[in-house]
């Protein structure tokens, strides 16, 4: 009798626990996105927004939609696009104050308190994976492109202004212009969750198990298996940025 295959979430959880036993410098976090399994539900985007309390205009994990062909031969393609966490990140050397850097685990992170908000990194990223926090909130009365009725405005307002915990710190949103407002913001592989033994929000939420996360330095991890497949590709490889996000096509 064949064994029931293990749910990839369970497998990834086990991989994660193993990785956390190692020193941070020995891990190499990698994400694999199986485009054949992505159904374009945008669940990962919503999970990311909720986890990091992202304001309007700030997006870490959009799902890019492409329409290919013309009627009646039309197909739709969905490409989730987190930060590529490049090994050679073009956004890092342009920062004039060292406010963005690859940490010892290889994840490109931000120092919100040091960032001056010059937005040079936004222009430098060839994947447009960075956005600036201009200080909007979803309950803002004058928010452009957000017409419509908003039910429970006051309750939503309280929720939006509650702190998020990116990089393991409390970042309140009191309505002023203090960080992270005015800063460049980006996906950080939910390191604050990962360090607590939880998978990134986009990974746990994916209904099709299309997003796989783990330590590529662990030969037994699921991501190590997947990135060596012949159908694993990376975006804009010709630039030599060596992204740590792989796509299975």
Partner 1 sequence: MANKNTKPAPEAEKEQEIPQKPAAPRKTFKLTTTHILWGVGILALLIGGIGMYQRFTEGLRPTALGSFVPWGLWVATYEYFVWLEIGSLVVFTLMVYVFKINPILHKMALTLYLTALAILAMALILIGLDLGHPFRFWHVMVWPQWNSLLAWMIWAHMIYMVVLVGKLLIEAYGKSAGLKKLGIWLSYISIPLGIALVAIAGSVFSVVVGRPAWQGNGLPLYFLVSSLVVGTGLLTFLFVWFYPNKEEQEYIDTVRWMGKLLLGLLTVGLTAAALGGMVLLYPGIPAQAEALKTALFGPLWWLYWVLHIGVGVIIPIFLLLARTPSPKQIGVAAGLLIATFIAVPLNIVVPAQTVIGIIEADLVNSFFGPTLNAGYFPTSSEWLVTLFALAFGFLVFLFGFTVLRLRPRVDETSKEVK
Q: Which residues of this protein are in contact with partner 1, per CB under 8 A?
A: 45, 56-59, 62-66, 79, 81, 90, 93-99, 114-120, 122-128, 130-136, 143-146, 177, 179, 181-184, 235, 239, 241
138 Cβ partners below 8 Å, 6+ apart?
A: 55, 56, 146, 150, 156, 160
Our CB check for partner 1 shows the closer of 125 and 226 to be 125
Smallest distance from the beta carbon of 153 to partner 1, in angstroms?
17
Our CB check for partner 1 shows the closer of 98 and 229 to be 98
Smallest distance from the beta carbon of 238 to partner 1, in angstroms?
11
Our CB check for partner 1 shows the closer of 8 and 184 to be 184
Our CB check for partner 1 shows the closer of 167 and 198 to be 167
| Residue 33: alpha-carbon gap to chain centroid | 12
DSSP collapsed to 3 states, 117-178: CCCHHHHHCCCCCEEECCCCCCCCCCCCCCCCCCCCHHHHHHHHHCCECHHHCCECCCCCCC
Residue 34 β-bridge partners = 248
Class of residue 189 by CB neighbours under 10 A (exposed 0-12, middle 13-18, buried 19+): buried
Give 31's DSSP letter: E
Smallest distance from the beta carbon of 146 to partner 1, in angstroms?
7
Smallest distance from the beta carbon of 116 to partner 1, in angstroms?
4
Our CB check for partner 1 shows the closer of 204 and 241 to be 241
Smallest distance from the beta carbon of 243 to partner 1, in angstroms?
12
d(CA 13, CA 231): 24
Our CB check for partner 1 shows the closer of 135 and 161 to be 135
**Torsion angle of alpha carbons 154, 157, 159, 164, nearest 10°?**
-170
Residue 178 tokens, joined? 């203090």
Smallest distance from the beta carbon of 81 to partner 1, in angstroms?
7
């Amino acid at each position: 009798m064949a064994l029931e295959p293990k749910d990839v979430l369970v497998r990834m959880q086990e991989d994660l626990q193993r990785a956390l036993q190692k020193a941070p410098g020995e891990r190499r976090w990698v994400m694999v996105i199986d485009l054949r399994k992505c159904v374009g539900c945008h669940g990962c985007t919503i999970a990311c927004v909720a986890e990091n309390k992202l304001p309007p205009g700030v997006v870490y994990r959009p799902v890019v939609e492409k329409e290919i062909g013309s009627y009646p031969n039309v197909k739709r393609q969905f490409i989730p696009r987190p930060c590529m966490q490049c090994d050679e990140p073009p956004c890092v050397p342009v920062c004039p104050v060292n406010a963005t850097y690859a940490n010892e685990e290889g994840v490109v992170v931000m120092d919100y308190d040091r960032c001056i908000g010059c937005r040079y990194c936004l222009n430098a990223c060839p994947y447009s994976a960075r956005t600036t926090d201009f200080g909007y909130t979803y309950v803002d009365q004058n928010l452009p492109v957000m017409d419509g009725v908003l039910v429970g405005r006051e309750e939503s307002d309280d929720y939006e202004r509650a702190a998020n915990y990116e990089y393991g710190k409390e970042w309140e949103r009191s309505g002023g212009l203090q960080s992270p407002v005015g800063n460049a913001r980006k996906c950080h592989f939910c390191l604050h969750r990962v360090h607590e033994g939880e998978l990134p929000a986009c990974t746990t939420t994916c209904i099709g198990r299309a997003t796989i996360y783990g330590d590529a330095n662990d030969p037994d991890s699921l991501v190590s298996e997947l990135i060596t497949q012949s159908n694993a590709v990376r975006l804009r490889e010709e630039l030599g940025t060596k992204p740590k996000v792989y796509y299975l096509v």
